[in-house]
Amino acid sequence: MSHDHSHDHDEHHPHGSQLSEMQLRVRALESILTEKGYVDPAALDRIIEAYETRIGPHNGARAVAKAWADADYKRALLEDATAAVGALGFASRVGDHLVAVENTPATHNMIVCTLCSCYPWEVLGLPPTWYKSAPYRSRAVIDPRSVLADFGVKLPEATQIRVWDSTAETRFMVLPMRPSGTEGWSEDKLAQLVTRDCMIGTGLPKSPAEVAP
């Protein structure tokens, strides 16, 4: 329910006034917590900087590209994603309960959290607004093909859809299928094909033509 695109709920919250109300309220809380000695604003800055720069879907993309390029790594990723992603040495060590699920011509995987917005932050960064929204959380488990249509994705009818509801501390990421026409590509170049949405299962990797030569 972002304020930054049109939305049914926005009429209840006029854009500008709501934002400034929130700005004031957040600033007040931060002042109180700082004055009481509960938080250090410099530590808050560091947290924000980490999510704006180091922790994002580029981390997951590296794991996917490596799995596409290296059959042993792919096996390791599917067997124990925590260890396999951990071995890549990202700034934020991945949590202990990461599971990678593989798309095949027979099965397409999608990740959701119907109860809140659980998401593999360490490999994909902070979740996008739509992932946290009621339309996605409600419909992904009952009618995922219509959700995919909202993303412009249409799968063959014969493809089974498997939805993973993140109801515990297990976190899931999708290992998408490697696009054809990418034989011999380096891991760095393969990583450019990997979108955030294709690791959630609401998108497919880019086509080779979309990546600069």
Partner 1 sequence: MNGVHDMGGMQCFGRVAPEADEPVFHSDWEARVLALNRAMGYARLWNIDMSRAAIEELPPEVYLTRSYYEKWLIRLEQLLLDRGLVDAEELAAGRALKPGKPLPRKLGVTDVAAALTRGSFSRAPGTPALFKEGDRVRARNINPTTHTRLPRYARGHVGTIESVRGCHVFPDTVAIGKGENPQWLYTVRFDGRELWGERCDPSLKVSIDAFEPYLEPA
Nearest approach, Cβ of residue 156 and partner 1 (Å)? 10
117 is catalytic: yes
By beta-carbon proximity to partner 1, the closer residue of 92 and 192 is: 92
User: How far is residue 190's CA from residue 175's CA, in Å, rounded to a whole number?
Assistant: 13
Which span (45-53, 62-70, 175-183, 185-193) binds partner 1, by CB under 8 A? 45-53
User: How far is residue 149's CA from residue 206's CA, in Å, rounded to a whole number?
Assistant: 17
By beta-carbon proximity to partner 1, the closer residue of 19 and 83 is: 19
Which span (6-14, 60-68, 69-77, 180-188) binds partner 1, by CB under 8 A? 6-14
Which residue in the list 2, 116, 146, 186 is annotated as catalytic? 116
φ, ψ (nearest 5 deg) of residue 84: -65, -40
Under the binding rule (CB under 8 A), the answer on residue 52 touching partner 1 is: yes
The closest of 65, 69, 73, 75 to 183, measured between CA atoms, is: 69
The one-letter amino acid code at 46 reads R
Tokens representing 63 are: 């794991």
The closest of 138, 149, 78 to 113, measured between CA atoms, is: 138
* Residues 70 to 89 in contact with partner 1, rule: CB under 8 A: none
Half-sphere exposure of 164 (CA within 13 A, CB side): 26
By beta-carbon proximity to partner 1, the closer residue of 152 and 181 is: 152
Tokens representing 93 are: 């060590």
* Residues 19 to 38 in contact with partner 1, rule: CB under 8 A: 19, 22-33, 35-38
Under the binding rule (CB under 8 A), the answer on residue 150 touching partner 1 is: yes
Under the binding rule (CB under 8 A), the answer on residue 14 touching partner 1 is: no
Q: What is the phi-psi region of residue 125: left when phi exceeds 0, alpha when psi lies from -120 to 50, beta otherwise?
A: left
* Residues 93 to 132 in contact with partner 1, rule: CB under 8 A: 93-97, 114-117, 121-122, 125-126, 128-130, 132
116 is catalytic: yes
198 is catalytic: no
Provide the annotated active-site residues: 113, 116-118
